């Protein structure tokens, strides 16, 4: 099995790369920084590439693909009034356009599957992170449309929608803001804790192995989607 995972050097992408490699898959691990990718180990081929500019190079390196995991993302907190066009474009390019263009460019085998990584706020509003939330809402819409377009080729397209997961994605925040974000996330998670990257990787692997499931967005969020 050949698997391509973007944003594979850290967090959910890293856990997913290790999960598939453990099953004996050949994993092409894509990210901008080579170092964390090169440290992933056996069965995992690192590729330093930017999903916004290197789509054709990634598709060429991938060859025929069984599983494409569109996981790379940029999350910038910017309240209305402080949103710059540059930051908004950057999030749209990484979180929405790259998954679309990669899905189009990659040679997906018959029986193959695409799994997009959304967020539990993809179907709701997120004050202060409106652009990020909008890109994920778009990614969920894309998941449904591409599932229909690719079904005749026997390629499935699904998404996972993680809730609060312990990864480096919010590491750029000052410690007090990060602590406030974590407290807010735990408070709105019925299971009362932050999830792990491995718990998301497990669901991605299950979706990859679910031959009659396409066009769904599956929450992995400790119940947040059905809570408040
Ligand atoms: N953690 C959470 O609470 C949470 C919740 C909901 C959804 N998610 C989603 O889960 C996914 C993974 O995020 P994470 O939490 O695991 O955070 P993360 O560890 O920061 O992972 C993001 C990865 O994307 C890569 N990346 C960013 N821009 C890229 C680009 N232009 N080209 C190639 N790679 C790029 C980064 O590596 P380089 O910097 O080396 O490129 C990084 O490894 C994202 O889609 C995120 O929106 C996370």
- Interval 144-174: pLDDT, tens: 999 999 999 999 999 999 999 999 988 888 9
* 64, 4 contact by CB (below 8 A): no
Q: pTM for the complete prediction?
A: 0.97
Share of the chain above pLDDT 70, in %: 100
Residue 130 pLDDT exceeds 80:
yes
Query: From CA 135, how far away is CA 133, in angstroms rounded?
Result: 6
pLDDT in tens, 70-129: 999 999 989 999 999 999 999 999 999 999 999 999 999 999 999 999 999 878 888 999
Q: Which of 35-39, 177-181, 210-214 has the lowest mean pLDDT?
A: 177-181
Q: In this structure, are residues 29 and 8 in contact, taking their beta carbons and an 8 Å threshold?
A: yes
Which DSSP category does 221 fall into?
S
Q: For the chain, how long is the longest CA-to-CA vector?
A: 50
Q: Whose CA is nearest to atom 8 of ligand 1?
A: 119
Catalytic member of 25, 132, 220, 225 = 132
Q: Tell me how far the alpha carbon of residue 152 lies from the centroid of ligand 1, in angstroms.
A: 31
- Which of the pair, 18 or 172, is modelled with greater confidence? 18
What's the pLDDT band for 43 if we cut at 50, 70, 90? confident
Which single residue is written with the structure tokens 């992408």?
A: 13
Give pLDDT, residue 228: 61
Question: For residue 166, what are the CA distances in angstroms to 12, 61, 106?
Answer: 9, 30, 30
The pocket around ligand 1, CB under 6 angstroms, is made up of: 6-7, 9-13, 30-33, 50-52, 71-75, 94, 117, 119, 162, 164-165, 167-169
DSSP letters of 159-179? EEEE-SB-SGGGTTS-HHHHH
Determine the average pLDDT of the residues in 43-51.
97
Residue 132 annotated as catalytic: yes
For the residues 18-33, what does the mean pLDDT come to?
98
């Amino acid at each position: 099995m050949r698997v391509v995972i973007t944003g594979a050097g850290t967090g959910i992408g890293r856990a997913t790369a290790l999960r598939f490699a453990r099953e004996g898959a050949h994993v092409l691990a894509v990210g901008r920084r080579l170092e964390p990718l090169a440290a992933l180990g056996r069965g995992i081929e690192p590729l330093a590439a930017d999903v916004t500019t290197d789509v054709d190079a990634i598709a060429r390196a991938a060859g025929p693909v069984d599983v494409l995991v569109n996981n790379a993302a940029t999350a910038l907190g910017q309240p209305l009034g402080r949103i710059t066009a540059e930051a908004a474009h950057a999030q749209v390019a990484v979180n929405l356009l790259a998954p679309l263009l990669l899905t189009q460019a990659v040679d997906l085998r018959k029986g193959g599957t695409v799994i997009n990584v959304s967020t539990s706020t993809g179907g709701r509003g997120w004050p202060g992170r409106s652009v990020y939330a909008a890109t994920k809402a778009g990614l969920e819409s894309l998941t449904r449309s591409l599932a229909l377009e690719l079904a005749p080729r026997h390629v499935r397209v699904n998404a996972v929608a993680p809730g609060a997961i312990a990864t480096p994605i919010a590491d750029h925040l000052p410690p007090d803001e990060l602590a406030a974000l974590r407290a807010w996330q735990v408070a709105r998670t019925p299971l009362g804790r932050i999830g792990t990257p491995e718990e998301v990787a497990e669901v991605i692997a299950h979706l990859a192995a679910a031959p009659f499931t396409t066009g769904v967005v599956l929450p992995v969020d400790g119940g947040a989607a059905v809570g408040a």
